[in-house]
Amino acid sequence: MDTQPEKVWYFAYGSNMSSAKFTGGRGIEPIDVARVRIPGWALTMEIPGMPYSEPSFSSIAPRRDTDAEKGISFDVIGVAYLITQEQYRRVISSEGGGIAYRDICLVGEPVDEDDRAKVGYQIMLRTLGTAMLRHPPPVPSQRYMNLLIEGGKEARLPSQYQQYLSHVPVYEPPNSSWTKLGALIFISIWGPVMSAMEKLTKESIQSDGNAPTWVILLVRWTVFVIWVVHDYLFAPIFGRGDGIRRDHDYTHNRHYQSLNPR
């Protein structure tokens, strides 16, 4: 009887493209690695994070007709790791246990002949898509984008895509004393709250890699409150902490959306 663990190809498009993050930080040693693209899907930065610090994190979404006008002109490209089901559950737990991301299946294509030799002409992938989003999306921090840029370079992703990653707009920390003060107050208040939410999530992870539904809803509600406080109190007084330009038509477009947990 075959006792080998069931394997899956996990598609990493964000910080997990970096082996230092995936193998070093997550402690997951893949069985094999290939580079793949997802036709019709684009990299996004729509997962809400912490204003004034880490405003957003990456996800992927189906490309829309208007994406080219917004500078989203590439299908998302990333690293496919062949791992066991148990390791994939560890990926889910390490990415928030179902709070910001949901497990999805997609069909990918190899980047070149070397990758095709590993995965064939098409490959079924498991990855994490958006379960909690903010629109319009904030911009990511330079620290976070550096992880994607270095991961893409390490994986030898196509040079045009690497260049695309290097030109993603990033959040610029405030340079005025007044906005710095607001950022310090905001992070001093909400930083410990989010640390407590992260600790609660990690301690409640279930066998499938997800947190219980009540924890998912609690953390999502906490993130919602954090951004409401930013939008209606701190942003008008101290300045924005999400990297969105002041001339953006934000009044009519601002909303936070949290999808139902699985």
Is the pLDDT at 139 greater than 70, yes or no?
yes
Q: How confident is the model at residue 27 (pLDDT cuts 50, 70, 90)?
A: confident
- Residues ≥6 apart with Cβ < 8 Å to 78: 11, 12, 13, 14, 17, 35, 36, 37, 38, 155, 157
Cα 112 to Cα 68: distance, rounded to the nearest angstrom? 24
Does residue 241 lie in a domain region? yes
Does residue 2 lie in a domain region? no
Residue pair 157/35 in contact (Cβ under 8 Å)? The answer is yes
DSSP alpha helix (H) spans, the chain: 19, 85-94, 113-119, 142-154, 159-166, 177-204, 213-229, 235-238
Burial of 223 (0-12, 13-18, 19+ CB in 10 A): buried
Q: Count the domains in the chain.
A: 1
Does residue 44 lie in a domain region? yes
Structure tokens belonging to residue 115: 């990758």
The model's pLDDT over 187-209, given as tens digits with 9 standing for 90+, comes to 999 999 999 999 999 999 999 99
Does residue 136 lie in a domain region? yes
Residues in the chain: 262
The model's pLDDT over 209-257, given as tens digits with 9 standing for 90+, comes to 999 999 999 999 999 999 999 999 999 999 999 998 754 443 333 333 4
Tally DSSP H helices, then E strands, for the chain. Answer: 8, 9
Residue pair 122/107 in contact (Cβ under 8 Å)? The answer is yes
Does residue 83 lie in a domain region? yes
**Beta partners for 110?**
36
- Looking at residue 245, its pLDDT comes to 73
- Parent domain of 22: 7-258
User: What angle, 0 to 180 degrees and rounded to 10, lies between the N-to-C axes of helices 177-204 and 213-229?
Assistant: 180
Cα 75 to Cα 102: distance, rounded to the nearest angstrom? 20
- Looking at residue 11, its pLDDT comes to 97
Q: How confident is the model at residue 5 (pLDDT cuts 50, 70, 90)?
A: low
Q: What CATH number is given to the structural domain containing 169?
A: 3.10.490.10
Average pLDDT over residues 76-91: 95
Does residue 94 lie in a domain region? yes
| Range in 50-54, 73-77, 134-138 the model is least confident about | 73-77
Does residue 1 lie in a domain region? no
